[in-house]
Amino acid sequence: MLKQLTILIVDDELLTVRILSANLKASGYQVLTAYDGQEALKIMEKQPVDLVLLDILMPGPDGFDICRKIRETYDIPVVVISAQGQEKDKLRALSSGAQDYITKPFGISELLARTRANLCHPVEIHL
């Protein structure tokens, strides 16, 4: 039996968290949620996580700071999901340790494909 992979969603927008959580669970992932970066770090201390979906603009430390803190301790993929779509924001996220960057709004199919790719799973796309 394959281990169910765990994804941590870190976003302060309740609707975004609900939509992502429902779709990821329907795709077979275990989902944990945090509404700010400090809460995310506490969760990661207690439970192993295979991938983090991380928003940039949140209360407290922003996603760039949280990404760097994750990188200091964990060797897991971080995918930034943000409404900040400028190239400088993408470059800053990638230089902070993120593996990927998805600009909001995005399609769920794209998010699931990028999630699988960052978890090193084959991506099957049906057009």
CA distance 1 to 24: 19
CATH topology for 6-118 is: Rossmann fold (3.40.50)
4 with 47: CB under 8 angstroms? no
Residue 9, number of CB atoms within 10 A of its CB: 23
27 with 51: CB under 8 angstroms? no
CA distance 2 to 110: 24
Angle between helices 87-95 and 63-73 (to 10 degrees): 20
pLDDT value of residue 127:
46
What residues have CB less than 8 Å from 106, skipping those under 6 apart?
Answer: 81
DSSP state of 35: S
pLDDT value of residue 2:
60
Q: Consecutive sets of 10 residues in the chain, 127 residues long: mean pLDDT of each?
A: 86 96 97 96 97 94 96 96 93 95 94 93 48
For 17-54, the pLDDT digits (tens) are 999 999 999 999 999 999 999 999 999 999 999 999 99
